[in-house]
Amino acid sequence: MSALRSLADARQRDDVEVETGPWAPGWAVRLLLAVVAATALAVAWSGPGPQPPASMPILLGVLVLAVACAPGLGLSGLVVLVVGARVLLGGAPPLGSTMLLVLLAHLVVWLGAVAARTRARTRVELAVLAAGAREGLPPQVGAQGLAVVAAVVAEGGLPPGDGWRVAALALAAVVVVLALPRPRVLWWRRD
């Protein structure tokens, strides 16, 4: 009975504060999702192959807008599907574009999942975003390695001058792991 009484007292108090770290508004996460999706589509259409009809940029713009406004519909997967179809039908892009598309596809899916769980006025802690980025790093490094192997196999050898990209990717992965701030106490271990 005393627990219910203290709960009722806590509801009436105005001085309760919840300490959070730096945050970004949910609309900013959705805006970032739209920018990443638009960039992925632009990189895919900048590669070899026939150029799209004049109505295609309008349709892709509507898709990007829908991804940002209603991320819960799972349209970020459709963006990745459209990018993959363009690469499949348009021909293999250069190694740098391929690696960028692999990164952007991962970001579109991840940001789509984060944005789907938030509303426009939700406050998303930057520590949560950083933790998600750290968790996505090992699969991304593996996917980038596979992209390089696929380019090597497709072109019959490593193109000249692209060896530095592999080294830069490895160095970037190390820098990201070391540079991203870690929370003092992980959210799932808090009491």
Q: Which residue has the higher pLDDT, 171 or 38?
A: 38
Q: What is the pLDDT of residues 104-139, one digit of tens each?
A: 999 999 999 999 999 988 899 898 898 888 888 877
Question: Who contacts 132 (Cβ-Cβ below 8 Å, separation ≥6)?
Answer: 110, 114
**Per-residue pLDDT at 175:** 61
**Per-residue pLDDT at 20:** 78
Structural domain spans, the chain:
23-189
**Per-residue pLDDT at 147:** 81
Q: Which element (helix H / strand E) includes 58?
A: helix 56-69
Q: What is the mean pLDDT of the chain?
A: 81
String of DSSP letters for 70-133 = -GGG-HHHHHHHHHHHHHHHH-PPPHHHHHHHHHHHHHHHHHHHHHHT--TT-EEEHHHHHHHH
186: amino acid identity, one letter: L
Helix (H, G, I), strand (E, B) or coil at 1: coil
**Per-residue pLDDT at 21:** 83
For residue 24, what is the DSSP state? Answer: E
